[in-house]
Structure 1
Amino acid sequence: MSQPREIVPGATYLLTRRVLRRHLLLRPDAAINQLLVYALAVSARRYGVEVHALCAMSTHLHLVVTDAQGVLPRFLQFFHRIVALGTKVLRKWEGPVWDHEATSVVRLLTQAAVVEKIAYVLANPVAAGLVRHAREWPGAKVEVGELGRGALYATRPSAYLDPKNPQWAEEATLPLALPPGIEQENAEGFRDAVAAELERQEAQAHAELEGQGRRFLGADRASEVSPYERAMSFEGLRARNPTFAVGREQGDARRTAAAAVRAFRVSYRAALERWCAGVRSVLFPVGTWWMRTFHGVSVDGAVLAA
């Protein structure tokens, strides 16, 4: 049985979703970029999700978002469905688009973690050996200077979305929000911190590729590869599935977070066992989502609406 997922309103996450068998279905081009930005803008507005960073790689998507209303699973389901169905039309693709593994959801518990993971998202094309600097990547992305003050814009894609359906507006704009806890007067310092971390990660990627005797593919060649090919570079088995991050050299925060995750799971399992035994009055811990949404269980003494 999979571990229960704790969904807390106002939490910030690094989200990653991978394409089936590392096919290059999201290879950057105008149509795919338009689909991704439009779908993200519509989905974020529908579920009140604040978007901080985005990088669409050919084989996977990275996002950093804040789930203001505590409805992250609904947002992911809606967003990924639009992207998958639109991609199937654009690529004339039969079968699944997404990998069978669930979306990686990593809760970012400190400002250090937010800075590091946003830089990680932006640096992804560099770490993959595709472009020398993050700003050169031709896929849908956010740049450092846009953090907390820019916006992404797209018109409605012609693929899949019915122009007669009122839920698909002709245009969609996605404002880029500052992460929680960062005020406007501190925004420039936050962007400077992300820029410094991005520079560090880019330099690390440069050193690793040089050590391997490899060269960067380049934006033009990355845009010209067939979307039906697969990434063939070595990728180790994903043995770890982290649920939170606190940033480097944050030992006390890591121990506190790990203890909180264990406490939630223990409490959830105990409540679920009693509920399965027929005790419908049992209280589930704060952060319970699935059982509250689909079975209306009590959380903190009140039965919350789905």
Structure 2
Amino acid sequence: MSHPREIAPGATYMITRRVLRRHLLFRPDAAISQLLVYALVVSARRFGIEVHAFCAMSTHLHLVVTDVNGVLPRFLQFFHRIVALGTKVLRAWEGPVWDHEATSVVRLLTRAAVVEKVAYVLANPVAAGLVRHACEWPGAKVDVSELGCGVLRAARPVAYLDPENPQWPEEVSLPLALPPAVAQDGVDDFRHEVAAELNVREAQAHSALQQQGRRFLGAERVSKISPYERVTSSEALGERNPTFAVGRDQGDVRRIAGTAVRAFRASYRAALERWRAGVRSVVFPAGTWWMCTFHGASARDFGLTV
């Protein structure tokens, strides 16, 4: 059983979802990029999600978003469903699209964490040895220069989505929002910080590939690989799946956040035990989502919020 997760309105997250068995179903081409951007824009607009950064790798998706209304599970369910069904049509794919592991959802608690994770998302194609610089990635993505000011745009894909259904407009757009941790007058500083972090990550990737005697695959070759192939390199198993991130050099913030997470889980489980015993008047901690949404349970702030 997974740990209960606090869903707090206004929280910012890095989200990662992987393709089944590391198949290259999201190999960058015009059709899959159109589907991914369209699905993201429609889903974000439907649930009031602010998108800050995005990178579609061949085997997984990375997002940095803010859940303004505290409906992140609804957004993820809708977005991932559209992507999966559209991909099955585009790739003539039978069976599941998504990996059986749960979506990775990491709450970003500080500005430093936002800067580091946005840079991580943008640097992913470089870290994977695919292109020398993030801007060269041919797949759907956000560039540093677009942070807080760019616009995601896409026409409705021909495959899967019914043009007669009003929930699928012919064209959609979504301005890229500035993360809440960044003041409106600090957008230039934010971009510079992300660019600096991105440069560090790219330099590390260059050094690592050189030491391994490998070369970057290049955008052209990446785009020509069959989407039905799989990544065959070894992948570490049993790695930690963090709940939150605070960034480097943040003093006691990590300890305080960890204490808050443990307190939320303990309070939730105590309330759930009473609920299972038939006590319907029990109050869950604020941020409880599933029990409140599907069972009508009550929740209140006990000062446990991260």
Interval of TM-score (by shorter of Structure 1 and Structure 2): over 0.9
Q: Quote the residue 1:26 is aligned against.
A: 26
Distance 1:234 1:249 in 2: 31
Distance 2:112 2:235 in 1: 27
State the shift of 1:10 in Å. 0.2
Matches within 5 A, 1:240-255: 240-255=240-255
User: 66-75 vs 251-260, which deviates more?
Assistant: 251-260
Residue deviations 1:94-144 (CA, integer Å, cap 9, x gap) = 000000011000000000000000000000000000000000000000000
Matches within 5 A, 1:1-306: 1-300=1-300
State the shift of 1:247 in Å. 0.5
Distance 1:238 1:143 in 2: 32
Distance 2:21 2:84 in 1: 15
Distance 1:81 1:24 in 2: 18
Residue deviations 1:65-103 (CA, integer Å, cap 9, x gap) = 000000000000000000000000000000000000110
Q: Quote the residue 2:304 is aligned against.
A: none
Distance 1:294 1:175 in 2: 32
Amino acid of the residue matched to residue 62 of structure 2? Answer: H
Amino acid of the residue matched to residue 3 of structure 1? Answer: H
State the shift of 1:251 in Å. 3.7
Q: TM-score, normalised by structure 1?
A: 0.97
Cα root mean square deviation, aligned: 0.8
Distance 2:71 2:26 in 1: 26
Residue deviations 1:196-251 (CA, integer Å, cap 9, x gap) = 00000000111111111110000000000000000112211143110000001224
State the shift of 1:32 in Å. 0.3
Distance 2:182 2:101 in 1: 33
Detail structure 1 runs of 4+ shifted over 4 Å in the superposition: none
Distance 1:241 1:194 in 2: 23
> 2:163, 2:170 within 8 Å by CA — same for their partners in 1?
yes
State the shift of 1:151 in Å. 0.5
SS of equivalent to 2:28 = coil
> 2:119, 2:195 within 8 Å by CA — same for their partners in 1?
yes
Q: Quote the residue 1:304 is aligned against.
A: none
SS of equivalent to 1:106 = strand
Using the aligned pairs only, state the percent identity: 77
State the shift of 1:286 in Å. 0.5
SS of equivalent to 1:192 = helix
SS of equivalent to 1:153 = strand
State the shift of 1:283 in Å. 0.6
* Structure 2: stretches of 5+ with no match in the other structure: 302-306
State the shift of 1:24 in Å. 0.1
Distance 2:89 2:300 in 1: 45
Amino acid of the residue matched to residue 42 of structure 1? Answer: V
Q: TM-score, normalised by structure 2?
A: 0.97
State the shift of 1:300 in Å. 1.6
Amino acid of the residue matched to residue 173 of structure 1? Answer: S
Distance 1:288 1:258 in 2: 17
Distance 1:40 1:221 in 2: 26
Distance 1:174 1:102 in 2: 27
Residue deviations 1:267-294 (CA, integer Å, cap 9, x gap) = 0000000111111111100110000001
Distance 2:181 2:248 in 1: 19
Amino acid of the residue matched to residue 125 of structure 2? Answer: P
SS of equivalent to 2:239 = coil
SS of equivalent to 2:207 = helix
State the shift of 1:161 in Å. 0.1
* Structure 1: stretches of 5+ with no match in the other structure: 302-306
State the shift of 1:183 in Å. 2.3
Amino acid of the residue matched to residue 102 of structure 2? Answer: A
